[in-house]
Each structure stands twice: as structure tokens, then as C-alpha cells.
Amino acid sequence: MVEDNPINVAGLNHFFGVGEARKQALGDIDLSIERGSLTILMGPSGSGKTTLLTLMGCLREVQDGSIKLLGQELHGAHEAQMVMLRRRLGFIFQAHNLHESLTAAQNVLMGLQVHGPGNAAKQLSATIHMLDILGLADRVDYLPGNLSGGQKQRVAVARALVSNPEVIFADEPTAALDREAGLNVVKMLKAMGRTRRTTTVMVTHDNRILELADRIISMEEGRIVGDTRSSPTGKPTP
Ligand code: ADP
Ligand code: MG
């Protein structure tokens, strides 16, 4: 474990169901993730990727073992602590989950408003700036129904990033996108790691974006079976 790393997982186990239906979803997970890195979690369906991601993202209670997120132990953490921690995180899911009745800008603003009332003018300018970075400057007043799939997912990314989260958890964020749109979303997250030291953990099946990862963790049947870091040349090394 490296104290300074934003995520440190040790001896983590997780089970679903009770009695005869009890099933182990994660076994003996040890993992430490460096600040500013882009880590990809991959593995077959049912291998525990989403379970691990939601545990690290304070979206599920830790049953057994330890997760230290941003210096705080999640095992036994109180709900109030989890809520405070979640405010320092960003989430992007496969379904973009935009509100259909709100414009692109209003959807992104919600990413700030969940943090409480702030300076409305500042929030709006941060929103416009983030949409601009994501190439959506001319779409701020569009409703989701009038945006393409890639544009909608970029709005969802803007919403996750606008509050400047320290860690981003993304679960198959490019699944619904074509190659170029998917690559752009991941490049954006990678750039955030460089410029803001944002840490990203992303689940994906998308072979096309593996080459952008700093590190690829492979899971099978609830266990980590592979851990590959890219070399400075960008080529994966065993
Ligand atoms: P992945 O994201 O890699 O497809 P999951 O983390 O969703 O895998 O699931 C891991 C295992 O845990 C699977 O066997 C799945 O059926 C089981 N599982 C996941 N969520 C639940 C749940 N809410 N209730 C019962 N079993 C679940
Ligand atoms: Mg999943």
C-alpha cells in the first residue's frame, strides 16, 4: 500500500445473497492506484468489475477487507462520511443518464448544484467552459433529444468533470459510442489526469481504447488475474 495513492484496496472480499444463494463476487483484491493515472478494469461479464468499481466509489458498503479512498477508510464508514467523499468523486455510466427536459448546460450545472448553492454566475461560466473543452460550445442550449449519442455522452462527462473531482469512476462509458467518439471521451479523461492530476478508473470491454491506459487490470471470477502497466513508450509491458 502506498499511503499517498488515492485508492488503496487490501484483502477485499464481497458477497451477494444469503444462505444457499450466497455467492462470492470478489475475492482477495489488493490494489493501489496512483494519482493522475488512467486505469482500465477489464474482464468477462460477471467477473466483478462493477462490484469493485462501486465499492471503491462509495456506492456500496464494504463487507470485508479495506478500501482507503482519499485517505479515508470505507469499511465501517458512516453514511455522512460517504456522502462527503462522494462529493470529491465523478461518475460516468454506460447510459448517460441525462435529464431529457434539461438542456446540455442545465444538465452540467446539476453536477455543480449537488454540491450546494454556489455563485450562480461562476457555476454557469464553469459549465460553459467545460462544455467548450468537450467540443460542445455550440450545443449548450440543446436538449438531449437533439444531440447525437456521442454528444450526449460528452455532456455526461462534462457533468462528471465540472466539479473538478479528484477521482473519476467510469463504467463502460464508451459502450454506446462509435470509435471516434469513444476515443475522444477517453482522451479527455486522460488529459485531465495530466493537467489536473485527476485519477480515473474505467471499466471497459473496448479494445480500441486499451492503448490509452496507463495500467490495465484484468479480472476473472472476482479476482485480479493480470496487472499491466504501459511503458513510457506507450507500449504495454508485462
Ligand atoms: P461485471 O461488472 O464484471 O460484469 P459484476 O460486478 O456486475 O460483474 O458482478 C459480479 C458477480 O456478482 C456476478 O456473478 C453477478 O451476477 C453478481 N452480482 C452483481 N450484482 C449483484 C446483485 N445486486 N445481487 C446479486 N448478485 C449480484
Ligand atoms: Mg459491469
Q: Is 46 in the pocket of ligand 1 (CB under 6 A)?
A: yes
Query: With contact defined as beta carbons under 8 Å apart, do 19 and 214 qualify?
Result: no
Residue 153 main-chain phi, psi, to 5 deg: -65, -30
Model confidence pLDDT, tens digit, residues 12-69: 999 999 999 999 999 999 999 999 999 999 999 999 999 999 999 999 999 999 999 9
Average pLDDT over residues 157-162: 90
Q: How many CB atoms lie within 10 A of CB 121?
A: 8
Q: Among the bound ligands, name the one nearest to the CA of residue 51.
A: 1
Position 238 pLDDT exceeds 60: no
C-alpha pair distances (Å), 5 with each of 14, 82, 112, 141, 167: 22, 18, 26, 39, 11
Q: Is 48 in the pocket of ligand 1 (CB under 6 A)?
A: yes
**41 alpha carbon to ligand 2 midpoint, in Å?**
10
Model confidence pLDDT, tens digit, residues 79-128: 999 999 999 999 998 777 899 999 999 999 988 887 777 888 999 999 99
Q: Among the bound ligands, name the one nearest to the CA of residue 42.
A: 1
Q: Is 101 in the pocket of ligand 1 (CB under 6 A)?
A: no
Model confidence pLDDT, tens digit, residues 134-159: 889 999 999 999 999 888 988 998 99
pTM to 2 decimal places:
0.90
Model confidence pLDDT, tens digit, residues 190-227: 888 888 899 999 999 888 888 899 999 999 999 999 99
Average pLDDT over residues 175-195: 83
Q: Is 47 in the pocket of ligand 1 (CB under 6 A)?
A: yes
DSSP 8-state code for residue 99:
-
Strands of 199-203's sheet, edge to edge? 89-92, 167-171, 199-203, 38-42, 215-220, 223-230, 236-237
Nearest ligand 1 atom to alpha carbon 219: 3
Q: Please, what is the end-to-end C-alpha distance for the chain in angstroms?
A: 21
C-alpha pair distances (Å), 141 with each of 50, 100, 107, 137: 33, 12, 10, 9
